[in-house]
Structures are given as structure tokens and as C-alpha cells.
Amino acid sequence: MYNIYFRPSAKSDVQEIVNYYDLLNPQLSNKFLEELENTVKHIQGMPTSCQKRIRNIRVSLLKRFSYGVYFKIYDSNISVIAILHTSRNPKIWQKR
């Protein structure tokens, strides 16, 4: 299994999403975090099964929320670059 690390920008993305869902319904933010955890476990176990985007950046989409986890594989490590809503420009991560 791969070691997974969240870049500061990805941690910030998670916090912004959780803050937004907390305003709507705190249970929603908990469900989002559960879904994110499941997605991260999938990425750790089978990262190459995820869709490759630009320059070896891969994405894994959450099942119940419209977000994608953008990441890159380095040897036995995975770096999570961003968690972006699917309606946003996916090239945003390139500035990170």
C-alpha cells in the first residue's frame, strides 16, 4: 500500500468544503468526510486504476459528492494535490 500525503492546498480544499457543508447541514460534512476517506483508501490500494489526466496527474471521483481527488504517484508515495468540484476548471491544480 502507498503512503499518502495531502499538500497544504489540498488540506485547505477539504477545510473549505467541510465549512460549506457545515453551513448547510453538519451531517452532510460528516458524510463528505466519510466518502473522502473511502476514496483515499481506494487510491492507496489501487492508484493506477484511477483516470490519468494531464502529466501523470490522476483523479478519483467521489461517488456521492461531485468532487475529484487529484493526485500524483511518486515511487511508494502519493501526493494529493487538490480536491476540486467537478464543475470547476480541472486545470486549477496546475497552479499548485
Residues 36-67 have pLDDT tens digits of 999 999 999 999 999 998 889 999 999 999 99
Banded pLDDT at 94 (limits 50, 70, 90):
low
> Domain ranges in the chain?
3-95
Beta strands in 12-53 (DSSP E): 51-52
For position 90, what pLDDT does the model report? 59
Q: Helix (H, G, I), strand (E, B), or coil: what is residue 52?
A: strand
For position 53, what pLDDT does the model report? 85
User: What does residue 51 show for φ and ψ, rounded to 5 degrees?
Assistant: -60, 130
For position 54, what pLDDT does the model report? 82
Q: What CATH architecture does domain 3-95 belong to?
A: 2-Layer Sandwich (3.30)
